[in-house]
Amino acid sequence: MFTGIVTDIGEVIAVRPRAQGLLHRMKIACSYDRATIVDGASIACAGVCLTVVGAGEEDGRTWFAVDAAAETLASTNVGQWRHGTRINLERPLKIGDELGGHIVTGHVDGLADVIAREELPDTARFALRAPPTLARFVAQKGSVTLDGVSLTVNEVEGDTFSVLIIPHTLQVTTLGDLSVGDRVHLEIDMMARYAARLAETR
């Protein structure tokens, strides 16, 4: 379980396709303490919960390895990651930690398309298009996770929605790198999912 508060930006330093392209093993460099990363641990990588299968140090940097299986490759853009790709990282929530964002599972629901970016005096406004099957879960003033970042929805119209991002978030996450045409991992709010499910069963 995560909160959508990014704690580091990692860099992909190796990608090795395995099992006829159905499994990718990646090494990701980070600034986390090597001693705190153990095999079997979960780390949210651009909002995708992946399991650590190895870790070490190289050229003075900590790295950890993860495997992305067929389902992950099919439903995310992880398969497009290459050497040098920057990704938002978050360690799992611990009992007693501050819940600064919202409850995030790390299970990406789909890909949202960036359709506009507007630079405002104190923020940047992004407009995105959600997949039709997910658009109904996005609500004004509700929460979404984009590439692992917890954000509040500003406006909603049909299958499009907008978010306002402060300069700090643009600097400490990869959202500042986004431009029109990019696709980002979208995780809808778990409470919205269950509310819709309950409504369906009545």
Catalytic residues: 2, 42, 49, 51, 69, 107, 152
> How many CA atoms, within 13 angstroms, populate the side-chain half-sphere of residue 17?
10
Long-range contacts of 138-143 (CB under 8 A, 24+ apart): 138/188, 138/192, 139/192, 142/189, 142/192, 143/4, 143/101, 143/102, 143/189
**146 with 129: CB under 8 angstroms?**
no
Q: CA dihedral defined by 191, 111, 169, 8, rounded to 10 degrees? A: 90
What separation in angstroms does the CA of 51 have from each of 44, 46, 48, 64, 202? 9, 13, 10, 10, 37
Q: Which residues pair with 160 in a beta bridge?
A: 129, 157
